[in-house]
Amino acid sequence: MEAARLADLHAYVDDCLESDERLAFEHRMAQDPALARRAALWRAQSNAIRAAFDGEGAKAFPISIVRHQNETFGRAARSGTAAKPSGEQPPRATLSAVARSRRPSAKTIASDAFRPSLLWRLGVATLSFCLAWFWAPATTVIPGKRLGEAGVAAFQAFALPGAEPVEFATSDMSEAQAWLTTRLARPVYLPATPSAVKLVGARIAPYPGAPAAFLVYRSKDRTVGLLVQSLDAPPTTAPQLLAADGGAAAVWTWRGQGLALVGDLDAADLPRIAADFADLPAEAAQPMPERGW
């Protein structure tokens, strides 16, 4: 692939093109399926990288806690690597292994004398537990943005024209539900299919932490995707339209799951179809699969 075309492809994947350049490139992709496949692959890869490293910044430890261990730990691990024969995979060092390898110095022994007693530690632990108990949030936080972004990413990666959008093709909702429950090894509950759309099939989609269920529907001549992920007992909520990752998603919760409806539809159609999904009575849905499968 020539350099200019490659640069355009990267610029398209990384959203660095102006709107007219973007349209021109999409026109080129329509004529070149290999280019479109590569763009979809790289875009899905970027979304997966963002999801994999999501929250790294917030997971920071206080420097005073880990700095000393880090310096000792890293050096011990590296010296272990250097000592091993080149073909052998070095064992991953642990903090306890590093601690065992260090001989106590006079300074360490002196500081040990001032270590807090077991009783003090127990008191602090009890106090922390009580604070955590009383200050625990009363309601589950619903990751609406994350659901929407995962739904848009799955739709862009799997529901593009020409790609095979589903792993399990079926128009029967109960079959799709049983297949997803088996594949994900946890109960998956699907809302009954509204009359405006027709089920095409199901597949597994990436989601931070655990894979999610992704269903593909057809609405007239358009494709619609529904991402379903189990959450920690959220209350049932009505669909809400969110902007996610350059697209739009209607996100709601139902039966302990988060659902995100995405598709290449008009802005007015997405909430309408989401409302159809959410408004159907629970009796219309198939019976709940047994827990414990």
Partner 1 sequence: MTVVPPLSDRPGDLSDLRQFGVALTRDDRLVLDQASATALVDRLFRQAALETVSPEVRDDKDRAAGDDARVRAFGQFVRLHRRHVRRLALDDGEFGWDENGESAQGKASAGEIGIAAAVRALPLELREPLLIVVLAGFNHREAASALDISLATLITRLTKARERVAALTRPHAAAAPRAAPHLRVVK
> What tokens were used for 281?
């009575």
* Shortest separation between residue 176's beta carbon and partner 1, angstroms: 23
Residue 168 engages partner 1 in binding (rule: CB under 8 A): no
Nearer to partner 1, 83 or 132 (CB): 83
Contacts of 245 (CB under 8 A, 6+ apart): 47, 148, 149, 152, 153
Report the DSSP beta bridge partners of residue 251: 240, 260
**Rg for the chain, CA atoms, rounded:** 26
Name the one range near partner 1 by CB under 8 A: 53-61, 129-137, 178-186, 242-250: 53-61
Q: Which residue has the tokens 């350049």?
A: 21
Nearer to partner 1, 77 or 241 (CB): 77
Task: Candidates 77, 98, 173, 192: give the one binding partner 1 (CB under 8 A).
Answer: 77
Name the one range near partner 1 by CB under 8 A: 79-87, 232-240, 256-264, 267-275: 79-87
Count CB-CB contacts under 10 A for residue 126: 10
* Shortest separation between residue 73's beta carbon and partner 1, angstroms: 6
Residues 87-106 that bind partner 1 (CB under 8 A): 89, 92-93
Task: Candidates 58, 118, 141, 233: give the one binding partner 1 (CB under 8 A).
Answer: 58
- 130-161 b/e with 16+ CB inside 10 Å = b? eeeeeeeeeeeebbbebbbbbbbbbbbbbbbe
CA distances from 224 to 11, 79, 124, 193, 195 (A): 27, 54, 52, 12, 14
Backbone angles phi, psi at 52, to 5 degrees: -65, -35
* Shortest separation between residue 57's beta carbon and partner 1, angstroms: 4
Residue 63 engages partner 1 in binding (rule: CB under 8 A): yes
Phi-psi region of 242 (alpha: psi -120 to 50; beta: other; left: phi over 0): beta
Nearer to partner 1, 39 or 224 (CB): 39
Residues 8-37 that bind partner 1 (CB under 8 A): 10-11, 14, 16
Residue ranges in contact with partner 1 by CB under 8 A? 3, 6-7, 10-11, 14, 16, 41-42, 45-46, 48-50, 52-53, 55-61, 63, 66-67, 69-71, 73-74, 77-79, 81-82, 89, 92-93
